[in-house]
Amino acid sequence: MRLKNCILIASLSLLGISSALAKTALIPQPQAIGWGGGNWSIPSRSQICYNPLAANSVRWLQKLIAPLSKVTTKETSNCKKASWSITLDPQFKSSDPEGYRLRISSNGVEIVSSTQVGLFYALQTLRQLLPPEVEQASKVRNYFLPFVEVEDSPLYSWRGSMLDVARSFYDVEYVKHHIDRMALFKLNRLHLHLSDDQGWRIEIKSYPNLTMHGGSGAVKNGRAGFYTQEQYQEIQKYARDRNITIIPEIEMPGHIYAALASYPELNCAGFENLSPRLATPPQLYQGVRVKWNSLCLEKLEVKKFVSAVLREVSEITDGPWIHIGGDEVDVNGYSQFISFVEGEVSRYGKITIGWEEILQASIGAKSIAQIWQKDSSATGNSKIISLCQFFYLDHSNTPAQSLPNDWCKQGGVSLEDLYGFTIKDMRNVLGIEAPIWTEFANTPQEVDDRVWPRLAAAAEVSWSLESRREISDFRSRLGAMGKRFDLMGIHFYESPTVRWTRGARSETPRSVFFGFAP
C-alpha cells in the first residue's frame, strides 16, 4: 500500500503535479480512518456550500483553501453539487460533541459535525492533508487530496499546554502563535502561569505595583513585561475563536515573591516569611530557588489582597477555571488558607484548580488537582495529569541536550517517554497537560525547542485511544510534519529518532490562521 502510494506520488510529481504526500501525516491519529483508492483534484475554481448554522465555520474553510482554489460560497441546505460542503447538523451522531466526520471522494470534501468545535477540528485534519505551503498562504495549484473517510472524536476533554510567562515573559504575539500551533493539533486548554517569584504578569487595577514593580523583573537572562487586562482579554478571545480556553494561574501562598517585593505589607514582621531570605523587598529576585517564601497567612491585608486579585482575575476570565497554584510551600495554616482561597474562587463563580498539594487540604468536591509528581487515586476530585517524568517539557529531549532542569528525570524526557504514557485508572481523569517552565527557556526559540515536537506527542496521547497509538507509526507521521514546522517558523528540536522532512524555515512565525478572526 505504502509502496504504491510512493510510486503514485513520484509519478505525479514527475508530471509536475503536487499531491498528498501528507497522507500519512495526521496528528493526532484519528479514531477511525479509511483511505480510499484515489485522489480528488482540487479544481481551480470551486464552491463551498454550507447550512446557516455553519456560517462561522465556513469562513475558516475559505481562509484555509484560498491558496488552492478561487472559491465562492453558497448558503443552502442541499449541498449535493458543491466541491466543498460544511454542515453543522445537530442530529449528527458522534461519541463526543467535539467529534466530526471528514469525507473526501470524487465529489469533493464533505465535513459534518453537531458542533462548531467539531467542524473546527475537521478543518484542522483537512489542513494537515493540504500541502504545508498553505501555512504561508502561498498559491498551490493542481493539488490532489486523497480519498479518505475520517470519523473522529477525542479521548479526553482536557488537552492542554502550560506556558510559564512568569520566569520569562512571552508577549501577546508569541502567545498567539503558540495558540495557532496548539489548534493545529486539536489542543484545547492553555494554562498561563502568570505569577511567580521572579515576575508578576497580569495587571491588577487595585494593586498597580504588582506589574509596575513586580512585572519589571525576570529570571536571570529572562524577559520582563506583563499583560494589561485588555491584552489578556485579546489573547483570550483569540484562543476562544480557536476553541482553546485560557486558564489563568495566580500562585499562592508560595512562589509569590514578586508580589511580596511589590507590596511589603504582605510580608510578616521581620520578613519571617522569607526563609532563607534570598532577597529583601522591594528588591526583585532573579534566581531559581523554590520553597523560600510565602504570603504572611495570618495577616488581614493578605486576605484582602487575595480576594481583590481573584475578583479581578475572575472578572476578565471567560472560562470556568482559576488556577491557584498551591505547590511547594511549607507554611503553617496551609489547609485553612487553601479553603479560604477556594471559597473566594467559588464566590466569584469559578472552579478552583491547584497543583497536587491542594489535596492535602480538605478541598471541595468540584475542585481539580493537577498531578505533577505523584498520582494519588485516593481522592474523588477530578485530576489533570502533568506527571513530570512524562510531561515536563523544560527537561531535555535527549541526554545530549542536557538542560539544567533535570530534577525529575535525569537524561531528560524523550519523545518516546512522553508518547509511552499509559494510564491504569482513568477514573476522574479529565486529561493531560504538558507544562513548559521557563527558568532556562528565555526566548521564543528556546521555548519552541523544548515544546516542539513533544507537544504534538502530548496532543496525540490526549486525543487518541491507546489502541490507536504506535510509536514507530507516530515517528513517521511526525517526520512528515517537519516541513510544515519549518514553513511555520517553528524552531523545533530535531528528535534524533525521527526521520524529518525539511523545508526552508521561515524567519518569522507564520500560520495560515495567524491573526484571523472569523
Q: Which residues bind ligand TNX (CB under 6 A)?
A: 290, 327-328, 355, 372, 392, 394, 405, 437, 439
Query: Shortest Cβ distance from residue 224 to ligand TNX (Å)?
Result: 18
Q: Which of 358, 446, 433 is nearest to 388 (CA)?
A: 433
Distance CA 124, CA 273 (A): 49
Could you tell me the smallest distance in angstroms from the CB atom of residue 328 to ligand TNX?
5
Q: Where do runs of H (alpha helix) occur along 246-299? A: 257-262
Q: How far is the CB of 429 from ligand TNX (least distance, A)?
A: 18
Pick between residue 66 and residue 290 the one whose CB is nearest to ligand TNX.
Answer: 290
Residue 435 C-beta: closest distance to ligand TNX, Å: 7
Supply the minimum distance, in Å, between the C-beta of residue 153 and ligand TNX. Answer: 31
Q: 17 or 290: whose CB is closer to ligand TNX?
A: 290
- Closest distance of CB 77 from ligand TNX, Å: 51
Q: Which is nearer to ligand TNX, 133 or 394 (CB)?
A: 394
As a three-state string, the secondary structure of 121-188 is HHHHHHHHHCCHHHHHCCCCCCCEEEEEEEEECCCCCEEEEEEECCCCCCCHHHHHHHHHHHHHCCCC
Question: Considering beta carbons, is residue 122 or 341 the nearer one to ligand TNX?
Answer: 341
Rounded CA gap, 444 and 451, in Å? 10
Residue 193 or 350: the one with the smaller Cβ distance to ligand TNX is 193
Residue number, 84 or 437, with CB nearest to ligand TNX: 437
> Judging by DSSP bridges, how do beta strands 100-105 and 144-152 pair with one another?
antiparallel
Least Cβ distance, residue 447 to ligand TNX (angstroms) = 13
Q: CA torsion 449→453→455→456, rounded to 10°?
A: 160
- Assign 3-class secondary structure to 417-472: HHHCCCCCCCCCEEEEEEEECCCCCCCHHHHHHHHCCHHHHHHHHHHCCHHHCCHH
Among residues 147, 124, 108, 140, the alpha carbon closest in space to that of 8 is found at 147
CB 276 to ligand TNX: min, Å? 17
Closer of 201 and 469 to ligand TNX (Cβ): 201
What single letter denotes the amino acid at residue 97?
A: P
- Cα Rg for the chain, rounded, in angstroms? 24
Is 411 or 503 the residue whose CB approaches ligand TNX more closely?
411
Torsions phi, psi of 105, nearest 5? -145, -170
